[in-house]
Structure 1
Amino acid sequence: MSTHSRDDAIGEANASRKPAIIFIHGLWQKPSSWDRWIEMFDAAGYAALAPGWPAEIGGASAPETIGEVAAHFARIARALDKRPALVGHSFGGLIAQILAGRRLSAATVAIDPAPFRGVLPVPDSALRSAWPVLHNPANVNRNVSLTPEESRYAVANAVPETECDALYASSQATAPGRPVFEAAANPDPWTKAQFDTETAERGPLLIISGEHDHAVPPSATRAAFERQQHNPHAVTEFARLSLRGHSLTIDHGWREVAETALRFVRRFV
């Protein structure tokens, strides 16, 4: 999505006077991964947007930091007439929570979100999923691709091999390595993968977990929920979806996830 088309989408959302919702994809995905979600949420009466990350819009190359990505989506949220709902997957789920911590979300759904500071320990499967990036320190300044085998383990382990291959061919994209290193530096007090989980205006939050996710296993999503649940001012809920892996937003079972998110958003927005 170019800057022009992004601005057009914001203008159209404001002109529609419908409640807006921003979808934020994760690493190795594209904004088009949300196309079916946008169709569903538009039909439900929302003005849905799925902007790309800064490099996707501006054409910049790696590195791209968590702070830069959060600032980029914060600008989009602030350009809307009313606080939008936010739905993010993986690193997009982390970004959505960061924005909620900045009081920029009317309701947030974080799907298998990348961990923020304090979400420990890191499961072995998460380290293995991130290893294609972390094994080479030079990747901090590079865009990184997953091989089909790496994608099968980290993304599409819970679907048949034929579907895994189809998802890789249709939706796989290169991604900046720096956010993976930043998230891995979880104990660092200066990490950008942190935010105020207890702010009074965080808004309602639903964390969705895929039972068989390797990249962000249920233990990690549950730990994120338990930290977010300390917020005394806002609703915090958790949903664990059986037999689902990290590709749950784009594979054959996407509708179950989208309907779970939509039911939550409808309660508040």
Structure 2
Amino acid sequence: MTPVGSLPRTLAALDRGGLQSEDRTPVVFIHGLWLHATSWDSWVELFEERGYAPWAPGWPGEPESLPAANAFPGPMAGTGVAEALSHYEELIGRLPRPPVLVGHAFGGLLAQQLLARGLAAGAVAVAPVQFRGVLRLPPVQMASLLPVLRNPLNVRKIVRQTPQHFRRDFANAVSERESNDMLATCVMPAPGRPLFQAALANVNPRTPVRVDTTVDRGPLLLVGAGRDRVVPASVVRAAARRYRRATSPTEYMEIEGSGHSLVIDHSWQILAETVLAFLDRHGLSPESADG
């Protein structure tokens, strides 16, 4: 069931923006840890201008506004990958047809899972967290995880980003001023549990952090960021190799010079135009649907 705290936003969103229209291609944006759903606002505006019906619902228990999420993050505590996946499955089930998914970090993992389950027409996973079977774990990535993983109690807690940690790992490819601006306008506390689940995915046979890479599905684009410390591009390339036996369209691209903040920093529109071109190339754009 969708948490009570997120119902007003999700129900209202379904009634506006053409999401219930059969004539517009729905796009669902899924954020990762530490970013609030409103961090997609610029993307939503751009995709709406291009004829899509965009929607950026939050994670289970996520407050509607960023100030509320920073002040009262408690409902998100203990949320894991399985809970988030069920949440988005329910929300997508309310749409009149399978949407296109655009996910970042853990949102990119969820986008791949939802696509593999046949719930989406196509997906883009930007700097997606690795799933079971992807063995690549660079030292720089492990260092970015240690502040959370070193305390096992964080598995059930809400974890906050410090300005120093955010600047070092998330926003390392932009100026300090831009890092501080993003921290103030996009970042919220996040549940620690998904990080523990991802870290243990390859030693836990029952992990929810898994993706069926061979199933027949819609087109998938995996995007790596050249300077990413949270999910290095080498990790995304390793994930792309797991799809080598896939018969469905699978693409990988890398954006040099970008860090993990590439969906919200000053260069976000370059990435967005790349995503739009991918959708058009695979017949998932509004123009393709009209044709």
Compute the TM-score of the two structures, normalised by the length of structure 1. Answer: 0.96
- Given that 2:60 and 2:76 are in contact with CA atoms closer than 8 Å, whether structure 1 keeps it comes out as no
Residue 58 (structure 2) aligns with:
52
- Given that 2:22 and 2:97 are in contact with CA atoms closer than 8 Å, whether structure 1 keeps it comes out as no
Structure 2 unaligned residues grouped into runs of 5+: 65-73, 285-291
Residue 146 (structure 1) aligns with:
161
1:228, distance to aligned residue in structure 2 (A): 2.1
Tell me, in whole angstroms, the C-alpha distance in 2 between the residues paired with 1:168 and 1:153. Answer: 12
Tell me, in whole angstroms, the C-alpha distance in 2 between the residues paired with 1:92 and 1:172. Answer: 15
Residue 30 (structure 2) aligns with:
24
- Given that 1:132 and 1:146 are in contact with CA atoms closer than 8 Å, whether structure 2 keeps it comes out as no
Match of 1:8 among 7, 12, 17: 12
Q: Which amino acid aligns with 2:12?
A: D
Q: Quick check: 1:212 aligned with 2:227?
A: yes
Structure 1 unaligned residues grouped into runs of 5+: none
Residue 263 (structure 1) aligns with:
277
The aligned runs of 1:35-184 (5 Å cut-off) are 35-56=41-62, 60-184=75-199
Task: Tell me the secondary structure at the aligned position of residue 62 of structure 2.
Answer: helix
Q: Deviations over 1:50-98 (max 9, x none)?
A: 0000111597241001000011011111211111000000010001011
- Given that 2:149 and 2:196 are in contact with CA atoms closer than 8 Å, whether structure 1 keeps it comes out as yes
Equivalent pairs, count: 267
Tell me, in whole angstroms, the C-alpha distance in 2 between the residues paired with 1:225 and 1:115. Answer: 10
Tell me, in whole angstroms, the C-alpha distance in 2 between the residues paired with 1:57 and 1:146. Answer: 17
Tell me, in whole angstroms, the C-alpha distance in 1 between the residues paired with 2:45 and 2:205. Answer: 40
Tell me, in whole angstroms, the C-alpha distance in 2 between the residues paired with 1:149 and 1:62. Answer: 23
Tell me, in whole angstroms, the C-alpha distance in 1 between the residues paired with 2:9 and 2:260. Answer: 29
The aligned runs of 1:231-250 (5 Å cut-off) are 231-232=246-247, 234-250=248-264
Q: Quick check: 1:189 aligned with 2:205?
A: yes
1:15, distance to aligned residue in structure 2 (A): 3.0
Compute the TM-score of the two structures, normalised by the length of structure 2. Answer: 0.88
Runs of 4+ in 1 over 4 A off after TM superposition: none
Q: State the identity as a percent.
A: 42
1:266, distance to aligned residue in structure 2 (A): 2.3
Tell me, in whole angstroms, the C-alpha distance in 2 between the residues paired with 1:108 and 1:61. Answer: 25
Task: Tell me the secondary structure at the aligned position of residue 75 of structure 1.
Answer: helix
